[in-house]
Amino acid sequence: MPRSLIDLLWRDHPEAPTGGTRGPRARVSTGDVVDAAIRLADAHGLPAVTIRRLAEALEVSTMSIYTHVNSRDDLLVLMADATHGRMERSRFGRLGWRGRVQRVAESNLALLQAHPWLHEIDDDRTALGPGTIAKYDHELAALAPLDLAPVTCDAALTFLLDFVRASARALRPNPRSGELAQHWPEWSLRLETYLGEDFPLARTVGAAAGAAMGAAHSPSMAWDFGLARVLDALAALAPPRA
């Protein structure tokens, strides 16, 4: 009988059901399957993670994979949770809340850049896993000095992580960005000729921003600006001190 997803997520916990001991010992473990899937996703993207390719990578039968995971959807949840569990936990030390939250943001950005396939896993069941819960608990600790109400604290963390995910997408390598930066001095002058006196705000603001960034857009500048605004918004949530 297949194990429930929550039992698969918590398979290493002392309270997890063992599933019996009869029959020959499996050549691979559930952890081996999840690790192989993560390696495939890191190397070739999430579409490469199929039950057939996993079986080939682990040199087992396709049916053997299904003794460890119930479906590909469940496997994706296990992969995300395992990756969350292994991410580096930033030490906060004596940092104030702004420094703590900035470290959380930077750690999540690094995670998404190392494993861009995480963008494609949008499954609420990931929240049930030990790796995700440990990550959540650690990140809530960054917000603890703000003394927010529990629901507000949860929403504040979601707000931060949504910003990080959007920024991580924008910061993904763009094969055309180098060409735009290389030709920006020439192209910006040509564009100014075409604009003339039309679109005055786009011309004025765009020219100033383009000169500062050397391109039409700078994801790194957008990250710095946006993170500072997120921190300002979180500061406004803190209850007034007596």
- Give the DSSP letter string of the chain: -PPPHHHHHTTTSTTS------SSPPSS-HHHHHHHHHHHHHHH-GGG--HHHHHHHHTS-HHHHHTT-S-HHHHHHHHHHHHHHHS-----TT--HHHHHHHHHHHHHHHHHH-GGGGG---GGGGGSHHHHHHHHHHHHHHGGG---HHHHHHHHHHHHHHHHHHHHHTS--TTHHHHHHHHHHHHHHHHHHHTTSSHHHHHHHHHHHHHHTSS--HHHHHHHHHHHHHHHHHTTSPPP-
Q: Grade residue 91 by pLDDT with cuts at 50, 70 and 90.
A: confident
For residue range 49-67, what is the model confidence (pLDDT) as tens digits? Answer: 999 999 999 999 999 999 9
* Centroid of chain to Cα 165: 6
- Is 109:164 a contact under the CB 8 Å cutoff? yes
- Give residue limits of the domains in the chain: 5-83, 89-242
CATH number of 89-242: 1.10.357.10
Give Rg (Cα) of the chain.
23
Q: Give dist(CA 55, CA 128) in Å, integer.
A: 26
- pLDDT for 23 equals 44
- pLDDT for 189 equals 75
Q: Give dist(CA 37, CA 50) in Å, integer.
A: 8
The pTM score is: 0.84
pLDDT above 60 for 24: no
Q: Give the tokens for residue 138.
A: 């650690």
Question: Are 5-83 and 89-242 in the same CATH fold?
Answer: no
CATH architecture of 5-83: Orthogonal Bundle (1.10)
Mean of per-residue pLDDT scores for the chain: 88
For residue range 131-187, what is the model confidence (pLDDT) as tens digits? Answer: 999 999 999 999 999 999 999 999 999 999 999 999 999 888 776 656 666 766 777
